Structure 1
Amino acid sequence: MEILVEVFLPLSLAIIMLSLGIGLTPSDFRRVVERGWAFGIGALCQLILIPLFAYVIVLTFGFTGAIAAGVMLLSFCPGGVTTNVMARLANGDVALSVSLTALISLLSIITVPVLVGWAVTRFMGADVPEFSVTEIAIAMFLITTLPVSIGMLIRYLAPGFADRAEPKLFVLAGVLFVVIVLAAIATNWDLFVANFTALGPALAVLSITTMLAGLTIAGVFGLTWAEQKTVAVEVGLQNGTLGITLAPIIAGVATGIPEIGLPAAIYSVIMYLTGIPIVLWLRSRRRES
C-alpha cells in the first residue's frame, strides 16, 4: 500500500500529464494571445468560480474537517485531459480546451499550494496536518509541470515519434485514471460508503452548477457557442486524479488514501454521471446562442 501512495499514484499522474504535454505545440500557446478574451473568461471561471461554488456547497451541506478541506482541494485542481475529450464530444472548441487545460495546469503549481494551505487551516483547525506549502509546490512541479514540459520537448524534438506515441499515451492515461480512482476507493472502502450518500449529491450539484454557470457566463460575455460549451466543460470537470494524488502528501500518510482525498475520489465517479448527459445535451444544441 505504501508503494501505491508514494510511487504509483504520483507516477501515474505524471504519465497522464505527459500525455497532455506531448500533444501540445507552440500554436496552442499562441492561441492564448490571439484569443485572449475567450481564454481569459475560461481561466477566470476555473480559478474563481469553481472554488466559490465549492465553498458555498461546503457551507450549505454542513461539511467540516478533512471532508470540507477535500472538497476545496478538488475545486483548486485544474481540468485534466478528460476535459479535452469531453469538449470534442460536445462539438466544442477543442483547441481552446487544450490551451485552458495546459495553461491552468502549469499555473496550478502556484495556486494549488497556496489555496490548499488556506483550506486546511480554515476547515481542519486543531487537526490540521503538518505540511509544507513548498513541499506541495515541489510535488506539483514534479507530477504536473515537469511531465507536461517533457512531453512538449518530445513533441518539439521528435514530432514523428510524438504523433505515434500520443494515442498510446492517451489510452494509457485513461487506464491509469481508472486504476487510480478504483485504488482510492478500495483503500478507503468503509469511509467511501459512509460518506457517499452525503458527498455524492453535493459533488453532483458542484459539477452541474459549475458547468451551467460556465456556459451562462461565457454566453453573457459574447463567446461563440463552441467556446461556451468548452468553458462549461473546463469549469465543470475537475482533475480528481490530482486531488487524490495530493491528498496523501497533504495529510502526511503513506498507507491508503486519507479522508481529505475522498471528495476527489467520489467526484471522479460522479462527474461522469452528471457531465456526460450535459455534454450530450450541449452537442445536440447546434444553434449559436
Structure 2
Amino acid sequence: MQSTLITTLLLPLALGVIMLGLGLGLTIDDFRRVARYPRAVLTGLLLQTGVLPWVALGLALLFRLPPELAVGLMLLAASPGGATANIYSHLARGDVALNITLTAINSVLCLVTLPVILNLSLRFFLGEGQYVPPPVQKIVEVAAIIILPVAIGMTVRALAPAFAARMEKPIRAMSVLVLVLLIVAAVSQAWDTLVTWFAAVGLACLLFNLASMGIGYAAPIGLKLPRRQAIAIAMEIGIHNGTLAIFIALNVLGNATMSVPAAVYSLLMFFTAAGFAWWAARRPAVLATQPG
C-alpha cells in the first residue's frame, strides 16, 4: 500500500473530525462507568493480547503459510485496534467509551507486547530474531487522531449540550460517508495486492478477521457483559491497525512480503465489519418487536 495525499493527510483529518463528533456524544460518566466495571476492559485486553496471537499462529500453521507471510499475520495479530473500530462501534450502537478506552490501553501495551510477539514469531518461522523498537511514533499518531479530538468533543458537549445533541445525526451520516471513502481508497490501493496474494493468504486473513470479531462478541456475551460492550469489544479486536503493521513491516523489518497480510486484511475487514455493524444495529429493533 503506497502513501498518497488521501492516506497521509485527508484520511487522518477526516477520522479526526469523526472522532470529534463521537466525543460530542460522550461524557465523563461514560468513562467512569467503564472504570467502575473493569470486566469489559480486562476481557478485551485478554482477548487482544492473550488469545488472538494464538489464533493467528494456528491459522498460519493450518494453511502452511510461507514464513514471511506467517510473520506478517502474527504482526497483524499483535497490532492494536484502529481508529475505524470506534466509528464502526458507533454505527453498530456499541459502547464507544469502551472502544476508546481499549484503544488507548492497547496502544500503550503494544509498546511492549508487539515487539515481544514479533520477535518470537521471527524466531519461530524464520529461525532468527531481530530487535523491533516500540512503535512510539505511531502510538502518538493514534493519540492525535483519537484521544485529542474526542476530548475536544466532550468539552464542547459539556459547554454546549444543545449543539452537541443537534450534531448527533449529521455526525452519524458523516461517519458512513467517511467509511465509504475509506473502502474506496482501500480498494483502489490494495486491489493489485489482493489479486496477487489472495490465493496465498486471503482465506487465512478472512478467517482471522471473522474469528476475531466472533470471539470478540461471543466471549463477552458468555461472560454476561452488556451487549453494547460485546459489540465494542468485537469491533476493537476485529479491526486491527493495519497501517501500523504495514509501517513496521516496510520501515522496521524492511520486508514488503510481511506487509501483505495487513494490506489484505485491511481491505477485507471493511466489508465484514460493515456487515456485522448492520446486523448489530438492526438486532435491537428486531428484538423489540418480538413478544416478551
Compute the TM-score of the two structures, normalised by the length of structure 2. 0.72
2:210 aligned residue (203, 208, 211) = 208
In structure 2, relative to structure 1, the CA distance for the partners of 1:40 and 1:169 (3 Å cut) is: same
Report the CA distance between 1:239 and its aligned residue: 7.5
Q: Is the 8 A contact 1:240 1:265 kept in 2?
A: no
1:23-63 per-residue CA deviation (whole Å, 9 max, x = no partner) reads 21112112124433345434433443334423432333334
Structure 2 CA distance for aligned equivalents of residues 186 and 128 of structure 1: 33
Specify whether residues 4 and 213 from structure 1 end up closer, same or farther in structure 2 by C-alpha distance, changes over 3 A only: closer
Quote the residue 1:80 is aligned against.
86
Distance 1:142 1:104 in 2: 16
Aligned pairs, number: 272
Report the RMSD for the aligned CA atoms in angstroms: 3.8
Aligned residue number for residue 275 of structure 1: 276
Q: 1:186 aligns with which of 181, 188, 196?
A: 188
Contact map agreement 2:60 2:73 (CA 8 A) in 1? no
Residue 88 of structure 2 aligns with an amino acid whose one-letter code is T
- 2:7 corresponds to 1:5: yes
1:139 equivalent in structure 2: 141
Distance 1:49 1:131, change over 3 A: closer
What's the CA shift for 1:104?
0.7
Letter in 1 for 2:156: I
Alignment match, 2:31: 29
- Once the two structures are superposed, residues 157-202 of structure 1 have per-residue CA deviations (whole angstroms, 9 ceiling, x without a partner) of 2222222233322322222222223212212321111223444432
- d(CA) in 1 for partners of 2:208 and 2:178? 25
CA contact (8 A) 2:88 2:277 kept: no
CA distance in 1, matches of 2:150, 2:281: 29
Provide the rounded CA distance (Å) in 1 between the counterparts of 2:152 and 2:115.
28
Identify unmatched segments of 5+ residues in structure 2: 253-258
Partner SS state of residue 167, structure 2 = helix
SS in 2 for 1:169: helix
Q: 1:53-68, aligned counterparts within 5 Å? A: 53-63=55-65, 64-65=67-68, 68=71
Aligned counterparts of 1:3 and 1:130: Cα–Cα separation in 2: 28
Offset, 1:82: 0.9
Percent of paired sites with the same residue: 24
TM-score, normalisation: structure 1? 0.73
Corresponding residue of 1:18:
20
Q: Secondary structure at the match of 1:24?
A: coil
Q: Is the 8 A contact 2:24 2:150 kept in 1?
A: yes
Equivalent residue letter for 1:77: P
Q: Aligned equivalents of 1:60 and 1:71: distance in 2?
A: 14
Q: Partner of 1:80: helix, strand, or coil?
A: helix
How far apart are the structure 1 equivalents of 2:21 and 2:245? Answer: 22
Instruction: Give yes or no for the alignment of 1:233 onto 2:231.
Output: yes
Change (3 A) 1:205 1:67: same
Instruction: State yes or no: 1:155 paired with 2:146.
Output: no
Structure 1 pair 276–199 and aligned structure 2 pair: CA distance change class (3 A): farther
Q: Is the 8 A contact 2:209 2:269 kept in 1?
A: no
Aligned residue identity for 1:83: S
Contact 1:207 1:275 (C-alpha < 8 Å) held by counterparts: no
Contact 2:31 2:98 in 1 (8 A): no
Q: Secondary structure at the match of 1:23?
A: coil
In the other structure, the counterpart of 2:72 is 69
How far, CA to CA, are the matches of 2:108 and 2:42 in structure 1?
18
What's the offset of the Cα at 1:230? 3.9
CA distance in 2, matches of 1:40, 1:130: 26
Which stretch has the larger CA shift, 12-21 or 141-150? Answer: 12-21
